[in-house]
Amino acid sequence: MSVAATPPAVGPFYLRRRSPSTAMSMPRFRMAVRSAAVSVTPLLTKLHNDSATPLPLLCHVADAMAADMRAGLAVDGGSDLKMILSYVDSLPSGNEEGLFYALDLGGTNFRVLRVQLGGKQERVIATEFDQVSIPKELMFGTSEQLFDFIASGLAKFAQKEGNKFHLPTGTKREIGFTFSFPVKQTSIDSGILIKWTKGFSVSGTAGKDVVACLNEAMERRGLDMRVSALVNDAVGTLAGARYWDDDVMVAVILGTGTNACYVERADAIPKLQGQVSSSGRTIINTEWGAFSDGLPLTEFDREMDAASINPGEQIFEKTISGMYLGEIVRRVLVKMAEADALFGESVPEKLSTPFALRTPDICAMQQDISDDLQDVGSILYNVSGVNFRCLF
């Protein structure tokens, strides 16, 4: 069920040489190739059929996900969906005031934010943020290396605190830590990493408290800060939305990865086992990226999963999230190039490189509505080595 790999619902067509006399009447897909016509209809038809999502199939997938959610609420490990207790029993009311910091780690970047809240009357008085790219080697390095890098970025950001922000004398700076990977939360400010996802494979962290890892790194940097709350990005999104709107009950993340959380009744969570929620409700972090039961997969989904660092895991995430959509499209293009000489006699070398085509690239290509598809051609040439003269 690869969204970006689903072709338009079109009838049979052929890729032909472009000539001045036929330029205006040619179909959208055009290129110069050795043969007079290259048929891609069989491959596109198969891809269209494999990617189809008729209503009965969608209902089946929804029912399967609901069943997994109930099983995950019943007992830890009851399903692929972790249905993690967030220990967040109450959400912002809009009355909150003061200076707060936030650190968001959830993908190929981490972000730091400071915000001065003014309550119902002033809401958000001032905000500042910074974004830092995480070097590829740190995504496969050690826990200490990663968290030291994050603490260093946080220290640089804290040093630039302007006079728009006011911290009461003697008060320690508090940080909300958004950690967008599966953790087993043990309290509002602690959580044990279950596993890395989204292409990360950092050693020495699984099974450890990620808050402790960050606090230790901040201590090594001499930072006078403490983590007061650990949430994942979905829970953080829900909390942020509730500051503005009391009716918000669900948050969904569609980014490098994907996840969702929602407000659940305490009496609908058997695995609470008598734990008391002051509000009678709690936020459940579904970790739905791990869902797989009944998902319709194409050959490209299966190939990419097999080649990933975590085969058989995070299947739903691999079919819809930003980390993987560009790679799925690249694999489709390679198959078309091999089967139908789409880009000439051989597959361009750069196009054969895994993850050469990124999701932002295919988003830009999809938005190109020009007659000559200039942006499509430029992107394919720049990132995949496809000769522009052999394009549409």
Residues classed as catalytic: 198, 233
Tokens 């609908």 identify what position? Answer: 268
Q: Which residue has the tokens 């472009």?
A: 18
Q: List b or e across 33-48, with b for residues whose CB sees 16 or more CB atoms inside 10 angstroms.
A: beeeebebeebbeebe
Task: Number of helices (H) and strands (E) in the chain: give both, helices first.
Answer: 11, 13
Pairing of strands 84-85, 281-285: antiparallel
Question: What distances in angstroms separate CA 265 from CA 240, 242, 249, 276, one per listed residue?
Answer: 20, 17, 12, 12
Enter the tokens of residue 392: 């549409």
Q: Which residues contact 194 (CB under 8 A, 6 or more apart)?
A: 82, 181, 182, 183, 184, 206
**Running DSSP on this structure, what letter comes out for residue 284?**
E
In terms of C-beta density within 10 A (0-12 exposed, 13-18 middle, 19 or more buried), how is residue 368 classed?
middle
**Largest Cα–Cα distance of the chain, in whole Å?**
79
The token pair at 317 is: 């995430």
Q: How far apart are CA 144 and CA 124, in angstroms?
A: 34
Return the exposure string of 343-360: e unless at least 16 CB atoms fall within 10 Å of the residue's CB, then b. bbeebbeebeeeebbbbe
Report which of 254, 227, 250 is spatially closest to residue 239, judged by C-alpha positions. Answer: 250
